[in-house]
Amino acid sequence: MKRSLIICLLIILVSGLPANTKIDSLETLLNKIVGKEKPHILNQLSTAYIRIDSEMSMECGFQALELAEKENNILEKAKEKYLIDVLKKRKIHFAGR
């Protein structure tokens, strides 16, 4: 029993590592990058946060959308509008439970 509990805890802890590593890498890259690539990195960061922290995902999404609109980047604007819409629908769905 004790052994199974330890194994379950290890699996839970290890399963979160890839997402955190990806988020850390994207945040580091975001601090280094300037210009037209920033909305794309924010979009990836928003997607990485979607299951971990929906508020942070939404915040990154709005930042990406704002930058994409300033740069008239139609592709990134479309991606972020879609992602923000999905997040809003998720929020409404979970609030109803």
The string of pLDDT tens digits covering residues 5-48 is 566 545 554 555 555 788 999 999 989 988 888 998 999 999 89
R_g over Cα of the chain: 17
CA dihedral 70, 72, 73, 76 (to 10 degrees): 60
pLDDT on residue 42: 92
User: What tokens does 23 get?
Assistant: 């988020």
- The fraction of the chain above a pLDDT of 70, given in percent, is 74
**What DSSP character marks residue 35?**
S
pLDDT of residue 4: 66
Q: Quote the pTM value.
A: 0.70
Q: Give the end-to-end CA distance of the chain in Å, rounded to a whole number.
A: 33
Has residue 97 got a pLDDT over 50?
Answer: no
pLDDT at position 27 is 92
CA angle 18, 20, 22 (to 5 degrees): 70
